[in-house]
Structure 1
């Protein structure tokens, strides 16, 4: 997913950021905006999309992890931020389908 997002103009800041609050798959710059990105893979959408697996609890963990990241990287804390979700489904051999939802949720949703 990193390459997919880079091809769309985003610049990587961090991958698999971990702290006590949780984990964030990708942190990237989209112009002046800092994007915290959760990537969800499903082999099939038969039982729903990867987006469907991001419940209130998961959003809360992502938001808390983002706040921790901002506390430890104060130079980035002044930028506007957003929370994105990238849903991926399919088989690698048959081709993956990628759906990128910008602003999937806000810090107020936690």
Structure 2
């Protein structure tokens, strides 16, 4: 999610906040009709927060949280570099779990009051 100190490990409070926001996003998407396939798929190149299914589409979901929009919105933090890492992680997932389903990348941006902005098809390959 954010705030990695030296050594690349998240502080315990940051990790707990990230996990809580991912649960909020998962719950929201479930109420929108998506079903959970996997959580936190990790590989050397990156991580997919949530893998969900929306009818006949496999959805790779990036969950972003910002306490404040002072330095930009949560959605704005999914820049080209982050998109590349997500694409590589999704390719790894698909190697491990082949499918004939179409795929898309969504972003769930969560603000200070747990307000949710769901961006479907946030970017493409």
TM above 0.5: yes
Unmatched tracts of structure 1, length 5 or more: none
Other-structure match for 2:105: 83
- Which of 58, 62, 68 is equivalent to 1:44? 68
CA distance in 2, matches of 1:37, 1:10: 11
| Aligned pairs for 1:30-41 within 5 A | 30-41=54-65
Q: Which has the higher contact order (CA 8 A, sep 6+)?
A: 1
1:51-86 superposed Cα distances (whole Å, 9 cap, x missing partner): 111111110110010011001101xx2101000001
> Which structure: greater helix fraction?
2
Q: C-alpha displacement at 1:29, in angstroms?
A: 0.0
Moved segments of 4+, more than 4 Å: none
TM-score (norm 1): 0.88
> Which structure: greater strand fraction?
1
TM-score (norm 2): 0.78
Counterpart secondary structure, 2:70: coil
How many residues are matched?
Answer: 101
Are 1:29 and 2:53 matched, yes or no?
yes
Q: C-alpha displacement at 1:21, in angstroms?
A: 1.4
CA RMSD of aligned residues (A): 0.8
